[in-house]
Amino acid sequence: MNQQNKTPSSQQVDALIVGAGFAGLYMLHLLRDKLGLKVATIESASGVGGTWYWNNYPGARCDIASHHYSFSFSKELQQEWVWSEKYAAQDEILRYLEYVAKRFDLSKDIQFNCRVKSAAFDESSDRWLVTTDRGERYSAKYFIPAVGTLSSANIPVFKDQESFQGDTYFTGNWPNEGVDFKGKRVAIIGTGATAIQVIPEVAKQAAHLTVFQRTPNYAAPLQNEVLTEAEDQQLKANYDQLREASWNSFAGVPFPKLKGSALDDTQEQRLAHYEELWQDGGFSLWIGSYQDILYDKAANETLADFIRTKIRQRVHDPKIAEMLCPPKGQTYGTKRQPCETGYFETYNRDNVTLVDIKRSAIKEFTSTGLRTSDQHYEFDSLIYATGYDAFTGSLFKMDITGRGGLPLQSHWAKGARTYLGLSAAGFPNMFTITGPQSPSVLFNMPLAIEMHCEWIADCIAYINGRGLATIEAQATSEDDWLAETKQIADATLLPEASSWYMGANIPGKPRVFLVYLGGGQQYKEIIEKVAADDYSGFRLS
């Protein structure tokens, strides 16, 4: 290994990982314990958990079933951990990750309460020079951001926002000690997947809750349930089959098998099929209904209409029900389908007001609330559930520069571009775990992370084993992968939606489809073939 370094005070490590969520923890385990490398991990929080550390807002819960949303790499770990609910709440997942960190003795190599300030590739030494907000410097051969796809807050800007004198919260950075809303007038901006979890819980506590909705959502019930120990044991008895089915699936969870075209069934058959999936809960309706739901507008509308009917049945006031129904033309499932528990019934409560800010926009904030074009709303506390600058936000915050001092922001000025979601041209030895243009968020995240971490560890073993200095995506490979990702996405209805998959939720962010939609199974075959072909599409030196 090249130990040259222009900054003698730097700590020399083989790899520097940023983040200690699912991705950072497993990457650290593989590189340190399987490859025997010297690894430093930097984490801004005071503990492990990543997204499950920060998102401890009321109602936070995973919408992938617990036995799937967990690591598969250790059979012992799989058997030891007991899940208490079909869909685990945030605190249980956080406890699980703390247990993982303890079991594999990971925390001793994680520096908590510390942020990466900059990461620059030094061409003279072929090493990454990384600085932190604590003034430390690292020199690392490999730089591995494991910063999550949804970790950089999107807080919209409003006129006189700072004049509001009450308490302000962002769901993705919730106070560790929790918040007591008892007796408070609370407002929330946003009605995405997060807000749909928060709203029913806050409504139960607050004196009054005002929901500012810009776009209604097609949410479907989660159908969570408590798991008995016997049920947990039964699932674990079949873990091998369960995992194999997941790896061989489109989304990393074996959802119900899709039927053919929605338009080939009669209305009666369709409704029966939708009802069954609705009762099944979670993403069954989204991922498991008909093959053309996300491809054909007429097929899509049949399911959109099914959900509108459900909303109208559940919301007593017809006017409020209509406000909550996404209008015709707003396609179903092209934004991620939120999963809900009692969300629509929340609007039957006397202490909840729904405000349509598409019709009457937010004009300005005041010291006691905010004013829309219609009226002034007063509240004591405000919750932003306004989403994230997905994929790129957290990477850009680290001031990453590649060959020739090129900032990652400049390389991605027209939108994020990678080869396989793992590597960007001009940024040698940098690997993005679940990066842009990988299946990431449309595959069961812990398995998507395992897939990437194992590929990266194998790649590093290959490079080190051959005494090579660098591996780097070729610019043409990046072009081709971007084109392939786009082509697959363009065949679907997804790019038309103003979703964070497209970067469309952030004003000014270039619109590029950020997820590989060919399915995790197909993607895995592609990256494995690239590795088997001596890392075809990469330049090795």
**Residue numbers of the site for ligand N01 (CB under 6 A)?**
61-63, 150, 156, 189-195, 197, 214-215, 336, 357, 385-388, 441, 500, 505
- By beta-carbon proximity to ligand N01, the closer residue of 150 and 463 is 150
| Radius of gyration for the chain, computed over Cα atoms and rounded to the nearest angstrom | 24
- Considering the complex, what minimum distance in angstroms separates the CB of residue 140 from ligand N01? 30
- Considering the complex, what minimum distance in angstroms separates the CB of residue 253 from ligand N01? 12
- Considering the complex, what minimum distance in angstroms separates the CB of residue 93 from ligand N01? 9
Residue 516 in tokens: 């590989």
- Considering the complex, what minimum distance in angstroms separates the CB of residue 375 from ligand N01? 17
- By beta-carbon proximity to ligand N01, the closer residue of 427 and 501 is 501
Q: Give dist(CA 185, CA 168) in Å, integer.
A: 12
Residue 263 identity:
L
- Considering the complex, what minimum distance in angstroms separates the CB of residue 175 from ligand N01? 17
Q: Give dist(CA 428, CA 126) in Å, integer.
A: 8
- By beta-carbon proximity to ligand N01, the closer residue of 16 and 395 is 395
- By beta-carbon proximity to ligand N01, the closer residue of 467 and 507 is 507
- Considering the complex, what minimum distance in angstroms separates the CB of residue 505 from ligand N01? 5
Q: With contact defined as beta carbons under 8 Å apart, do 520 and 249 qualify?
A: yes
- Considering the complex, what minimum distance in angstroms separates the CB of residue 337 from ligand N01? 9
Tally helices (H) and strands (E) across the chain: 17, 19
Residue 405 identity:
G
Exposed, middle or buried by CB within 10 Å (0-12, 13-18, 19+), for 285?
A: buried
N- to C-terminal Cα separation, the chain: 13
Report helix, strand or coil for 187.
strand
Residue nearest to ligand N01 (CB): 192
- By beta-carbon proximity to ligand N01, the closer residue of 68 and 141 is 68
Residue 308 in tokens: 């509108």
Q: With contact defined as beta carbons under 8 Å apart, do 240 and 277 qualify?
A: no
Q: Give dist(CA 379, CA 87) in Å, integer.
A: 33
Q: Identify the H or E element spanning 98.
A: helix 90-103
- By beta-carbon proximity to ligand N01, the closer residue of 157 and 230 is 157
- By beta-carbon proximity to ligand N01, the closer residue of 53 and 419 is 53
- Considering the complex, what minimum distance in angstroms separates the CB of residue 357 from ligand N01? 6
- Considering the complex, what minimum distance in angstroms separates the CB of residue 348 from ligand N01? 21
- By beta-carbon proximity to ligand N01, the closer residue of 385 and 471 is 385
Residues 6 or more apart in contact with residue 476 via CB below 8 angstroms: none
- By beta-carbon proximity to ligand N01, the closer residue of 128 and 164 is 164
Residues 6 or more apart in contact with residue 487 via CB below 8 angstroms: none
Q: With contact defined as beta carbons under 8 Å apart, do 57 and 384 qualify?
A: no
- By beta-carbon proximity to ligand N01, the closer residue of 25 and 506 is 506
Q: Give dist(CA 419, CA 435) in Å, integer.
A: 10
Q: Identify the H or E element spanning 344.
A: helix 343-346
DSSP 145: E
Length of the chain: 541
- Considering the complex, what minimum distance in angstroms separates the CB of residue 217 from ligand N01? 7
* Beta pairing class for 400-401 and 381-384: unpaired
Estimate the crossing angle of helix 520-532 against helix 445-465, to 10 degrees: 0
Report helix, strand or coil for 438.
strand
- By beta-carbon proximity to ligand N01, the closer residue of 386 and 432 is 386
Estimate the crossing angle of helix 297-314 against helix 267-280, to 10 degrees: 60
- Considering the complex, what minimum distance in angstroms separates the CB of residue 215 from ligand N01? 3
